[in-house]
Amino acid sequence: MEGHAKLMVVTMTSVNAADPNPLPPSAVCCKALDNADFKCLCFFKNSKWMTEYKVDFNRAKELPGKCNLGKSFPC
């Protein structure tokens, strides 16, 4: 699976806007993020897709920090 696809799967399952108290990212989530292309999520930042899958972009942007990856979104 390509890096950007991994990021999309991770954010869809881990950053649900409906959950006010999400669990911390798992090791599997962090490993996927470490290999992800963050530009992909930036491309979809304001898209209908994010709303349909209930992905909270602000929470998604926090994942690299919560995983201590030393990376961030370029948008």
* pLDDT (0 to 100) of residue 1: 44
The answer to whether 63 touches 29, Cβ cutoff 8 Å, is: yes
What is the residue type of 28?
A: V
Spatial distance between the Cα atoms of 64 and 62, rounded to a whole number of angstroms: 6
Tens digit of pLDDT for each residue in 2-59? 555 455 555 555 555 566 777 788 888 888 888 888 887 788 888 887 778 777 888 8
- pTM of the predicted structure, to 2 decimals: 0.67
Domains and CATH numbers, the chain: 3-66 (1.10.110.10)
Q: How far apart are CA 13 and CA 22, in angstroms?
A: 10
